[in-house]
Amino acid sequence: MIELTGSDLTIEQIVAVARSREPVASLREDVRQRMQHSHDWVERSISQSGKIIYGVNTGFGSLATKIISASQARQLSRNLILGCISGVGRALAQDVVRAMMVIRANMLVKGHSGVRPRVAQTLIDLLNAGVTPVVPEKGSLGASGDLAPLAHIAVVMTRDLEEGDGGYSGMAYYQGELLEGAEAMRRAGIERLVLGAKEGLALSNGTDFMAACGALAVYDAENLLRHSQAAAALSLEALLGLSAALDPALHAANNQPGQQRIAANLRLLTAGSHLIDSLPSKVQDAYSLRCIPQVLGPVLDTLAFLRQRFAAAVNAATDNPLIFETGSPDGDLRSISGGNFHGQGPAMWLDFLGIAMAEVADIAERCIFRLLTPELSHGLPAMLVPSSGLDGGLMMAQYTAAALVSDNKTLAHPDSVDSIPSCANQEDHVSMGANAARHALEILENVRHVVAIEFQAAAQALDLRAAGGMGPPGQGTSRVHAAVRRHVTYLEHDRELAPDTSRLAELILSGELIKDVFEMVALG
């Protein structure tokens, strides 16, 4: 059971809620009290003191000069949600939507958004009941928050002020069935909310799509990097690599922690190998083998930085305006209108993640190519199949890897350097972080499949080495090879390769493929 406090939600907890349906606890009483205190101040401010507060009793964006009466504040909240239902494209994966929901609930419980406890509790109720709104993947500029994606969530849980069916409710999944949002809520026994003042803005304004994608992407990238090290170690063995390039003194001299960690892991995985250093005439390896620590090490360092940033982002208040204590003895509050919704940080971080992980696929594909090419592989048959010519072996698998690597080169073009003004030039600089988020997730999927193909090729090569009478690989790489062979059999003659690649990619995503190797080596 995960408890939301607004300050200590972890990336692992987000993954647990998003993918494993870990339940979220009902709000604590102290959390309810601080949320209610903030909401009461909002209501008093517009109904008694006549304060003008952006987004509470004004229009939005370039319409901020339009004053809205206190009696229309609730309608303003609902109108904002309906007006932001503008997303297009395929539906986001349900784990991304659920991650957005738990991050938004966690932000609301901080008490800076001026909403009733019931708003956050309703999000929690949706998560626990398994109601997952359908959210189109495109339509956010990543500034003014992820308005469209968040609105597609909010519309399911809210309703019109008038009596009747409650108005438009979007679409949602419930118990595996796609339903109108109102029907999903009805079956789950959750009442749709009539929003109060500010609550529409609090549900739609923020960086939650970017933060959700970032949290899931960091988690998946770390897992993928662990697997890429195991695959690289198999390739190093199969290509009869040299251990000199893994010498700890060499890596200490470069003074880069990630590089040193990767080299140490490769030494542990290949310890006891009869294949490493088995060619006396070999002076040095090609870069794709010799420089594995220098390539994967910076990726490890990058992910460590990104984990820090997204761990902070999922506990941030990114609504606007935000409400704070004044510090006065009477406990009065004040609102501050600013720009925490601007996603420039997440946009740059997601671009950085995509660029870093694209390099994981780059070097993996070069190892695959080398394994399949007799002039480069030190005695392995062409295309890693005994009857080359009659059989094409893994030729087409390398084509696929090359296509995915090339795709990543386009996807890794940084979105964060772009900006298109919007909202009558009031919002004249935007982050395009939502595009960076989509592209980062797509890059990860591509890399996962390239690494899966490297596992296929390197395991096949090790079998061919064994058939040629060469000694066994190291203790760690032997276990990695055995793990691959539990799921994908040796390729004696041509067969369909796609199922093998997909199976390995799914096992990489779940972390199950080389789980037992983690017990032996802490694959950074």
Pairing of strands 171-174, 322-325: unpaired
What is the rounded CA–CA span in Å between residue 397 and residue 501?
8
What is the rounded CA–CA span in Å between residue 294 and residue 415?
26
Opening angle at CA 152, ends 147 and 158, nearest 5: 105
What is the rounded CA–CA span in Å between residue 401 and residue 220?
19
Task: For residue 93, give every residue at least 6 positions away whose Cβ sits within 8 Å of its Cβ, in sequence order, or none.
Answer: none
What is the rounded CA–CA span in Å between residue 472 and residue 34?
63
Distances (CA, A) of 259 to 240, 291, 307: 21, 10, 18
| 54 tagged catalytic | yes
Phi/psi of residue 90, each to 5°?
Answer: -65, 160
Give how far the C-alpha of residue 373 lies from the chain's centroid of Cα atoms, to the nearest Å.
Answer: 35
Bridge-partner residues for 24, per DSSP?
Answer: 2
Sign of CA pseudo-dihedral 41, 45, 46, 52: negative
Nearest residue to 509 (alpha-carbon basis) of 216, 196, 97:
216
What residue type is assigned to position 493 of the chain?
A: H
Catalytic choice (54, 174, 219, 490): 54
SS3 state at 80: helix
SS3 state at 480: helix
Task: For residue 82, give every residue at least 6 positions away whose Cβ sits within 8 Å of its Cβ, in sequence order, or none.
Answer: 151, 155, 167, 168
Nearest residue to 398 (alpha-carbon basis) of 445, 458, 440:
458
**Which residues are designated catalytic?**
54
